[in-house]
Amino acid sequence: MTTHKVLVTGGSGFVGSHVILQLLAAGHDVRTTVRSLAREPQVRATLERAGADTRRLSFVAADLERDEGWAEAVAGCDYVQHVASPFPQSQPADEQELIRPAVDGTLRVLRAARDAGVKRVVLTSSFAAIGYGHGQRHSDYTEADWTDVNGPAVQPYMKSKTLAERAAWDFIAAEGNGLELAVVNPVGIFGPALNDDLSTSIWLVKSMIEGRMPGLPDLWFGVVDVRDVASLQIETMTHAGAAGERFLAVAGKAVSIPEMADILRADLGDAAGNITRRRIPSWLVRILALFNPMAREAAPRLGIRANASNVKARKLLDWQPRGNAEAILATAHSLIALGLVETRA
């Protein structure tokens, strides 16, 4: 097998860490960016606990909001996995706090990659750039769809991912100078947590197991395992037919929060004792939205089953993702193994 030098931006993050794990396991030399080199020992320790040999891993300090460090980061690299992007626990008051670093950071990475002679950049975008602003629809979303940033209830995070990906494609068309781009658009990412730096999706499972969710609203979302996102990113990196393409990363049909609770309860036994069975009617969520920010974010999406198709990745790249239940339960088991949830004895 041919090995390559690969830059992974955002190596301390959930997806970035799993991409690094799989690249190292495949024999590639990996460089990763962190905002401060003070994070290097922690990131190495996390990866080594997960079984990685980190001798072929190096670090560079680079920030999406600054030019410094990016030329050094991409120097000598064959490919770039651009994973880093802001993902807030709550929506900012000024949407530009999310949009500006997402767009400008993506363009910084692309310019540096082009100037360094990188062959291809794989951009981790999101279903947020595909499936919002359309209201209720009955057909599955595909890679041909784009979020309408001016549509109803499109939040700053969704705008940031959409505008960053649009900017990336525009850059390649106008200034790419032969640089190839491929994009992966994951839905809600679950799977094994590696440390206590938890993504929003992982926090959802943690909150349910600990009984911190007082009721189960009628919210639906796609699911994909982080290990399958990483494998799709890596396959997209070198596959000849992947250049210039987008790929939805989704395991199957959307699941609801009540269905997720059922999946956890059926598998975890006593550890699921704090998971509520109470369902919150949508009318109550809409009332709570008048004064509760979290309910306000959720209200426009109540009852909307945004299904997405993985046919393209399956057919072109022979991608075989794990199912919804396996991804959700892997999240739960990793949280319990790491001692990051309080469960009933």
Q: Which residues are designated catalytic?
A: 161
Task: State the pLDDT at residue 214.
Answer: 86
pTM reported for the whole predicted model: 0.94
Torsion angle, alpha carbons of 150, 199, 12, 179, to 10: -30
Q: What is the DSSP letter of 3?
A: -
pLDDT of the residue at 96: 86
Per-residue HEC secondary structure of 99-161 comes to HHHHHHHHHHHHHHHHHHCCCEEEEECCHHHCCCCCCCCCCCECCCCCCCCCCCCCCHHHHHH
Predicted pLDDT at 83: 95
pLDDT tens for the chain, 345 residues long, are 689 999 999 999 999 999 999 999 999 999 999 999 999 999 999 999 999 999 999 999 999 989 999 999 999 999 999 998 765 555 667 788 889 889 999 999 999 999 999 999 999 999 999 999 887 766 799 999 999 999 877 888 899 999 999 999 999 999 999 999 999 999 999 999 999 988 889 999 999 999 988 889 888 999 999 999 999 999 999 999 999 999 999 999 999 999 999 999 999 998 999 999 999 877 786 887 677 677 777 777 777 888 999 999 999 999 999 999 999 999 999 999 999 998 665
What domains are there in the chain, each with its CATH number? 5-193+223-250+307-322 (3.40.50.720)
Q: What is the pLDDT of residue 125?
A: 97
Alpha helix stretches (DSSP H) within the chain: 14-25, 40-49, 70-74, 96-116, 156-175, 200-209, 226-238, 257-268, 282-288, 293-298, 311-317, 324-337
